[in-house]
Structure 1
Amino acid sequence: MKNKITIAIDGFSSTGKSTIAKLLAKKYNYVYVDTGAMYRAVTLFAKQNNYVGEGYLKKEELIKELNSISLSFKFNKDLGFAEMLLNGVNVEKEIRTLEVSQLVSKVAAISEVRKKLVAEQQLMGKERGIVMDGRDIGTVVFPDADLKLFMTASADKRATRRYKELIGRGDKVNFDEILFNVQERDRIDSTRKDSPLVKADDAIEFDNSDMGIQEQFERICSLVDRKLQEI
């Protein structure tokens, strides 16, 4: 597709990957895919069916049910982005809870889950003009992406952002619990055997510990514009 590129945004949890990706998709009229929402939806399915919970994971039982999981996105005009549907049901709110956040890394580490979702993600991105964020977009899903970003920030800053987000939604949460969750997700994501969270060799590392959204957005837009001039 002429004058369109593939943008892959990887990085640690709560670094604002989705926020930036949504803004980029809106500005450049690209398709946005939140891969984290897909893993969260599978985790919600597993939780609802008692395949995963605090202290346990029924891996084989979940694997047997993967073919019964249908994932899709539905654009919400009022919100300006697509929401996650699990087997036809909007689960956008349910997948953003701290409970799902505490379980998602365990489910995402299952090779069969990753294989299913990576195949679906690659199908979504067959044409250029897409912004996709996650943990392995630049290394596994789109290793030939035109622009790769790797978002990072200190664990304390990320936990603070997540805490404010959840409090703003009316959730009753504890900061120390959120900080532990952020650190634990980092550990699991970075050490899993299948597609661990790593920075692609050709990715641009972007530390936004001390940046607001607008400053991040402007800096990243300059990178996108520079790349568009090259094609």
Structure 2
Amino acid sequence: MIIAIDGPAASGKGTIARRLAAHYRLPHLDTGLLYRAVGAAALEKAVDFEDVAAMAGLAEGLDLAALDPESLRAGPVGEAASRAAAIPQVRAKLLTLQQNFAHQPGGAVLDGRDIGTVIAPDAAVKIFVTATPEARAARRFRELAARGEKVTPESVLEDIRKRDQRDSSRTSAPLVVAADAEIIDNTALDVAASVAAALAIVERRR
């Protein structure tokens, strides 16, 4: 069983994906970490994001086992990840890796921006998780502030809106709702209610 969970930044899709993976004892891949790893590598090595060949090279050399989720969730990496994800050549390099993970024996849970539309359009379960930009920005601000990062609510909201625009307007695998996906708007939901809604969708689809 492949469970595809898509949605914009800070929508809570990762939390839902992890809970579903634990519930159904399936492997989980946060595909956003792949783009964050490419973006972080570009920042570390001072690679020009306009240098498509160099960016694609970073994606090709990515080691899935070496990803450090905690460090890759730092604030500046999010913007870099969004820029890296907008490069078609980077997406092409990471496509096979994600598809192989999704189609492993027994299935998997993946969350990202294009799981149900590009990575696993044959997924048995497709969920699109969303919330208003303001709600998502508030969540991200609390998360970043708790880590001690120097951010303001206004700057986080601006970043969320910029990422939404970039993710939705890119030419390669834009963020869209799959035709057969079920939508969870969790603007007014807490984590428990969001997970419960997702579990109900999976059970209906099984």
- The interval holding the TM-score normalised by the smaller chain is over 0.9
- Aligned residue in 2 for 1:51: 47
CA RMSD of aligned residues (A): 1.4
Matches within 5 A, 1:182-197: 182-197=160-175
Equivalent of 2:110 in 127, 132, 148 = 132
- Aligned residue in 2 for 1:33: 29
Following the alignment from structure 2 to structure 1, what is the Cα–Cα distance between the partners of residues 50 and 44?
A: 13
Q: Percent identity?
A: 38
- Whichever residue aligns with residue 87 of structure 2, its letter is I
- Aligned residue in 2 for 1:8: 4
Tell me, yes or no, if structure 1 residue 62 matches structure 2 residue 60. no
- Whichever residue aligns with residue 99 of structure 2, its letter is Q
The unaligned stretches of length 5 or more in structure 1 are 73-84
- Whichever residue aligns with residue 29 of structure 1, its letter is R
How far residue 9 of structure 1 moved from its aligned partner, in angstroms, is 0.4
Contact 1:7 1:148 in 2 (8 A): yes
When residues 224 and 65 of structure 1 are mapped into structure 2, their CA distance, relative to the original with a 3 A threshold, is: closer
Following the alignment from structure 1 to structure 2, what is the Cα–Cα distance between the partners of residues 186 and 110?
A: 15
Equivalent of 2:199 in 213, 221, 226 = 221
Count residues in correspondence: 205
How far residue 104 of structure 1 moved from its aligned partner, in angstroms, is 1.4
Contact 2:56 2:93 in 1 (8 A): no
- Aligned residue in 1 for 2:20: 24
- Whichever residue aligns with residue 222 of structure 1, its letter is A
Tell me, yes or no, if structure 1 residue 117 matches structure 2 residue 110. no
Greater strand share, structure number: 1
Matches within 5 A, 1:35-184: 35-52=31-48, 57-72=50-65, 85-86=66-67, 91-126=68-103, 127-184=105-162
How far residue 63 of structure 1 moved from its aligned partner, in angstroms, is 2.5
**Partner SS, residue 133 of structure 1:** strand
Select the structure of larger CA radius of gyration: 1
**Partner SS, residue 57 of structure 1:** coil
- Aligned residue in 2 for 1:81: none
The unaligned stretches of length 5 or more in structure 2 are none
- Whichever residue aligns with residue 93 of structure 2, its letter is K
Greater helix share, structure number: 2
